Structure 1
Amino acid sequence: MSSDAARTARQFGDGPLSRAAARVYTLIVVEVLLLLACLPGLVPLVLLDPDASNIPLYAACVLPLAPALSAALYALHHQRPDLTDLRPAAAFRRGYRINLAGVLRIWVPLLAWLTVVAVNLAHLDVAAVPRWWAVPLVGVAAVATLVWTNALVITSLFAFRARDVARLALHFAVRAPGVSLGTALLLSASAAVTAVTSEAVLALAGSVCALALLRVAAPMTATIQREFTE
């Protein structure tokens, strides 16, 4: 390629319109791959009846969600701004491969515990516990989910040992209240969309949700990058 052609390619890839096009293209590719990765659980999840007896099946259906979301976070974080040098599919596959084991180590225990909580909440009368017991159960589940979300972002973007991920996730849940608040609002909005429409609608906005989570967690990831990796 001549110097003039190279200069033209750089100019084409550096403008605001090109950066916007790169972002849109990346979001579309990541969304398609995210849906494909979640498809084994998404199809039966949509078909399940909303009954308390199906709670364990719901948990099994969402098992592929965390690895897919982790790969989406990785791909969006490593997005190239140059429209002439985009490889979001390769980044997604790499993120899925290198983060799969680490994500499952934090996802499976949380999912199992949330399943137990959901079953107990659905059968409070059978469990012979007071109705007010639901309040602390929901509160603890919410806090655990917030800490886990921190852990998911950390696992997706950094290479730490599992116990260090847990410590950092808990640490930043307290140290960065703005991140916790933003994450809580994002999770609440996702839950509301699912309740009003369906899981499929939320899945269709999966890449946008992943990008929003990256933006919310940016102060945490920047601090980790500065204080724990340099």
Structure 2
Amino acid sequence: MSDATRSGRQFGDGPLGRFTALVHTLLVVELLLLLTTLPGLLPLLLLDRDASNLPLAAACLVPVGPAVSAALYALRHQRPDPTDLRPAALFRRGYRDNLPGALRVWVPALLWLTVVAVNLAHLAAAAVPPWWAALLLLVAVAVALCAANALVVTSLFTFRTRDVARLALYFLVRARGVTLGNLALLAAAAGVTAVFSEAVLAMSGALFVLAFLRISDPMTERIRKEFTA
């Protein structure tokens, strides 16, 4: 074995090598996230924050689901070795393979959330009691958390859509740490969007996806052990 090969392996196995690999992977994934969500992100930034634009905003968010699915796949399968970095190839593979499944999960969730958001925006006109707004908020949060679980499952495993939905609902209750972690991450994303803009959230998308993946690790490990051969 040559000195150069030995040195490369030592660098790749050390903390500096792993950190370098992670930074490179996050930068590439962030760039690809921006490119794949750009068709929806640009018109979304131009929309006024008005209730009448909620269906248009939902349509603009359709590309986000497949992009996040591809990012989850790339971050999950990328080896922490600076001599074997393939985040772009992994992202492309994840996008291609996961596109149908991600859309089957993401589009219905967007439709549900849009309906809830439109109803919340017109509560005063509907003259409904205050508790109805709280119930709608609970429904929206539950839909978002189920969609998050389903997106992870369909991105990292091969199941039928109905089985993906069942697993998402099952782990919403049985993996409480994952549910609470995703709830905190969802609140953080909403806070960044409210205080800054959707553009700031998009520019930190790879970090949010990495956190999303790490939070979901207990769920994915249980699925691997209990539901796969």
Q: TM-score, normalised by structure 1?
A: 0.96
Q: CA deviation at 1:8?
A: 2.7
Q: Which residue does the alignment assign to 2:184?
A: 185
AA of the residue aligned to 1:93: R
Aligned residues: 229
AA of the residue aligned to 2:99: L
When structure 1 is superposed on structure 2, of 195-204 and 121-130 the one drifting more is: 121-130
Once residues 214 and 8 of structure 2 are traced to their aligned partners in structure 1, the CA distance between those partners, rounded to angstroms, is: 29
> Cα deviation per residue 1:137-196 (whole Å; 9 max; x = unaligned)?
110110111111001111110011111111111111111111100000000011011001
Aligned-pair Cα RMSD in Å = 1.1
Is 1:30 aligned with 2:43? no
List gaps (5 residues or longer) in structure 1: none
Once residues 140 and 115 of structure 1 are traced to their aligned partners in structure 2, the CA distance between those partners, rounded to angstroms, is: 12
Q: CA deviation at 1:125?
A: 2.9
Q: How does 1:81-230 map to 2 (within 5 A)?
A: 81-230=80-229
Retained in 1: the 8 A contact 2:112–2:143?
no
List gaps (5 residues or longer) in structure 2: none
Once residues 180 and 164 of structure 2 are traced to their aligned partners in structure 1, the CA distance between those partners, rounded to angstroms, is: 20
Once residues 181 and 105 of structure 1 are traced to their aligned partners in structure 2, the CA distance between those partners, rounded to angstroms, is: 24
- 1:63 is paired with a residue of what secondary structure? coil
> Which portions of structure 1, spanning 4 or more consecutive aligned residues, are displaced by more than 2 angstroms?
2-9, 125-132
Once residues 227 and 133 of structure 1 are traced to their aligned partners in structure 2, the CA distance between those partners, rounded to angstroms, is: 39
Q: TM-score, normalised by structure 2?
A: 0.97
Retained in 1: the 8 A contact 2:145–2:182?
yes
When structure 1 is superposed on structure 2, of 93-102 and 106-115 the one drifting more is: 106-115
Q: Which residue does the alignment assign to 2:6?
A: 7
Give identity over the alignment, percent: 67
Q: CA deviation at 1:9?
A: 2.4
- 2:79 is paired with a residue of what secondary structure? coil
